[in-house]
Amino acid sequence: MAPNWRNALKLNSSDTWDPSHRFATSWLLTPWVLFAVRAVFALYAFTTLFFIIGWQASGHDGFDIHDVRKSFSYFTILCYWGQAIYFLLASTHTFTYAHTTQPLLRRLPPFLRTLYTLLHTTVTVFPLLVTLIFWSILYPTLPITTPFALYTNTSQHALNALFALFEIAATRAAPAPWIHLLWCALLLALYCGLAFATEAVKGYY
């Protein structure tokens, strides 16, 4: 039987999409506690991102505004923005579920629900990949010598993995559909293309 790509992408009606509210609930925590945890993660991630921008733009530690622009070419930064946005959305959905028993997520159009499930997959997969590559390959060549470097690397190369593992282990979100493997591979391929194009034009990855 041919695969049902429509179901794999979860482009079905709200009556059958996530009927037990797995994206908004936890097997371990109450909805209100889950909302609080996700909200704290979102607040921390956004605070970190904007602090880094402010620190670099103000010229501390030899940085300047060009480093802010360059940062948006780095997979680590893009993944961390993805996590920040995800936890903001996830905390909103969890809050609406805790408040009304109907998460906002189920009221969204099917296409947006599809994008949300893909976002969930990326924020539970890519941060682990980032952390593994950084500590096994990059860290030996990038010594952490300043408080700013310690803060940013701990936040973006350690806590990011903790955030991802929390979503995997503590929530009721179902395993990602296999079709997401294709989408993740495509996103990585697009990023590699961007990285090589940036290196060719700007001289850095």
Asked if the structure places residue 1 within a domain, the reply is no
Share of the chain above pLDDT 90, in %: 70
Task: Give the contacts of 52 (CB within 8 A, at least 6 positions apart).
Answer: 71, 152
Find where tokens 């996103």 sit.
187
Asked if the structure places residue 21 within a domain, the reply is no
Asked if the structure places residue 100 within a domain, the reply is yes
CA 48, 50, 54 angle in degrees (round to 5)? 115
Asked if the structure places residue 2 within a domain, the reply is no
The pLDDT of 83-96, averaged and rounded, is 98
pTM for the structure as a whole: 0.90
Structural domain count of the chain: 1
Residue 92 has pLDDT above 60, yes or no: yes
What pLDDT is attached to residue 3?
42
What pLDDT is attached to residue 151?
96
Q: Which residues pair with 26 in a beta bridge?
A: 171
What pLDDT is attached to residue 5?
47
Asked if the structure places residue 121 within a domain, the reply is yes
What pLDDT is attached to residue 16?
55
Residue 97 has pLDDT above 90, yes or no: yes
Residue 1 has pLDDT above 70, yes or no: no
Asked if the structure places residue 168 within a domain, the reply is yes
Worst-scoring range by mean pLDDT, 60-74, 127-141, 164-178? 60-74
Retrieve residue 142's tokens: 């990038």
The pLDDT of 94-98, averaged and rounded, is 97
Q: Which residues pair with 171 in a beta bridge?
A: 26
What pLDDT is attached to residue 46?
99
pLDDT confidence bin for 162, thresholds 50/70/90: very high
Residue 90 has pLDDT above 50, yes or no: yes
pLDDT confidence bin for 10, thresholds 50/70/90: very low
Asked if the structure places residue 170 within a domain, the reply is yes
Residue 123 has pLDDT above 70, yes or no: yes
Average pLDDT score over the chain: 90
pLDDT tens digits for range 98-113: 999 999 988 899 999 9
Q: Which residue range forms the structural domain that includes residue 129?
A: 26-202
pLDDT tens digits for range 163-197: 999 999 999 999 999 999 999 999 999 999 988 88
Asked if the structure places residue 9 within a domain, the reply is no
Phi then psi dihedrals of residue 73, to 5 deg:
-95, -5
On whether the CB atoms of residues 187 and 62 are closer than 8 A, the answer is no
